[in-house]
Amino acid sequence: MKLDYDSFREIADALVRNRSRSLLTGFGVFWGIFMLLFMVGGGQGLKQLIGSNFEGFATNTTIMVSSQTTKPWKGFKEGRYWNLTYTDVDRLKMLIPELETVTPCISTWGTTSQYGENSYSGNFRGVYADYVNIEEPQIEYGRYINESDVLQERKVCVLGKRVYNNLFPGGGDPCGKFVKVGPAYYQVIGVDYSSGNISVSGSADESITAPLPVVQKILNRGSVVDLVCATGRSGVRMSDLEPRMRQVMARQHQFDPSDKQALFILNTEQLFSLIDNLFTGVNFLIWLVGLGTILAGVIGVSNIMMVTVKERTTEIGIRRAIGATPRDILSQIIMESISLTLAAGSFGIVFSVLLLSLLEKIVAATGDSINFQIGFWTAVVAALMLTALGVIAGLAPASRAMAIKPVDAMRDE
């Protein structure tokens, strides 16, 4: 074999061609890691966005609403209407001790509130002080309804965020001021900035909340309540208590306990579980698609390294002839494979972070503060995974390179 200028020029040309192929193949790794991390960050942000609709709402809550019966029972025909009452609250507390909070709520929609020349038509509801265990308020100004307000039947109210923005467009603390709600005036004691979209007797941001006895008399509801909310004690699953709650209500109001239409029960525990299971499946699909894309890129890296080894037979033969050991050849090929996958993957990580940051800003412009970003350790694990895949991608080409003998390289030349 002649080690002249033409031979070295051929080796250099082969290296340039292989590097061009490597860059093209590295795009597969870049695209795979970008897709994986972007979908992981996007999935987390989407879960947080959906979860914000349940912000402040207890995860172990049941909400009971009376409805029309659909089955005959003990001489009563189907199609009979019945109502929940205050005594049902005491009955549930006494007969089902596993319940921690049982609280009623009444409301009416389309009530006009007014302050000065500003007005807003929204929801007017009455609750007890323990309603905070059902839907936790986010108080921006003042405070929420307390036990003294309920016992003394004070004409006070808490404004929802949207009501506050319409009645007090200039902002500022409205506590102590009086707003007209329907036919009566109420003193503002707080502003609730809750933004959850679960509508329990009306969305919180569109509601004016007052002590239940006051609203009861204003609306002339007597002993009837619109709904009863209940939470379980720590470690108690509300799904296990639901049949007993139906039995208690059915025995008191004379309807078939198996008639689920007669007593509608919304179990938020099942709702939250459904969302968790949904995103577990989404995350599995994300990792499946992302890892599949990365593996396709790594296979491409392995193939291009095989071509590299074949075209660099002369170079490898020269190195072996001047004393390079098989271990030197092995480490060279594997390091090239690791460098290629890690470099391409690093660009993918950076690009996904930048794009997720842009997505965060777009969502923030709509008023929602959602984190679409991947975690630090997620990026570290991705980098380690790329290193491991780079080693795997270089094993087959490195084995082929180690099998090249100087004599065979000279014969090829």
- Clarify whether residues 87 and 46 are in a common domain: no
The DSSP output letter for 119 is E
User: How far is Cα 313 from Cα 95, in angstroms, rounded to an integer?
Assistant: 85
Q: Which two tokens stand for residue 57?
A: 């709402």
pLDDT-based confidence at residue 7 (cuts at 50, 70, 90): very low
- Clarify whether residues 100 and 211 are in a common domain: yes
Residue ranges making up the domain that contains 144: 61-268
User: Among the three residues 233, 252, 268, which one is the final residue of a domain in this structure?
Assistant: 268
pLDDT-based confidence at residue 238 (cuts at 50, 70, 90): confident
Give 123's strand partners.
Answer: 109, 207
- Clarify whether residues 251 and 363 are in a common domain: no
- Clarify whether residues 181 and 65 are in a common domain: yes
Q: What is the pTM of this model?
A: 0.67
Average pLDDT rounded to a whole number, residues 363-372 = 72
- CA distances in angstroms from 44 to 16, 143, 162, listed in the order given: 42, 33, 28
User: Among the three residues 268, 300, 331, which one is the final residue of a domain in this structure?
Assistant: 268
Q: CB count, 10 Å around CB of 338?
A: 20
Distance of CA 235 to the CA centre of its chain: 24
Q: Tens digits of per-residue pLDDT, 150-192?
A: 999 999 999 999 999 999 998 899 999 999 998 899 999 999 9
The DSSP output letter for 179 is E
In total, how many domains does the chain have?
2
Q: Which two tokens stand for residue 17?
A: 């061609």
- Clarify whether residues 301 and 373 are in a common domain: yes
Q: Which two tokens stand for residue 394?
A: 């270089």
Q: Which 3 state secondary structure label does DSSP give 291?
A: helix
- Clarify whether residues 138 and 239 are in a common domain: yes
Pairing of strands 118-127, 99-115: antiparallel
User: How far is Cα 12 from Cα 18, in angstroms, rounded to an integer?
Assistant: 10
User: Among the three residues 268, 301, 316, which one is the final residue of a domain in this structure?
Assistant: 268
* Cα-trace Rg, the chain: 34
- Clarify whether residues 305 and 331 are in a common domain: yes
* pLDDT above 90 (res 375): no
pLDDT-based confidence at residue 112 (cuts at 50, 70, 90): very high
Confidence (pLDDT) at 59: 74
- Clarify whether residues 311 and 361 are in a common domain: yes
- Clarify whether residues 228 and 291 are in a common domain: no
User: How far is Cα 270 from Cα 387, in angstroms, rounded to an integer?
Assistant: 41
Q: Which residue is it, tokens 């494979």?
A: 337
Confidence (pLDDT) at 33: 80
- Clarify whether residues 282 and 383 are in a common domain: yes
Residue 309 neighbours by CB under 8 Å, 6+ apart:
316, 333, 397, 400, 401, 404
CB 29 within 8 A of CB 345: yes
Q: Tens digits of per-residue pLDDT, 12-62?
A: 454 455 555 555 566 767 777 877 888 888 777 777 777 666 666 667 888
- Clarify whether residues 296 and 373 are in a common domain: yes
- Clarify whether residues 221 and 76 are in a common domain: yes
Average pLDDT rounded to a whole number, residues 252-279 = 84
DSSP codes of every residue in 66-133: E----S-BTTBPTT----EEHHHHHHHHHH-TTEEEEEEEEEEEEEEEEETTEEEEEEEEEE-GGGGG
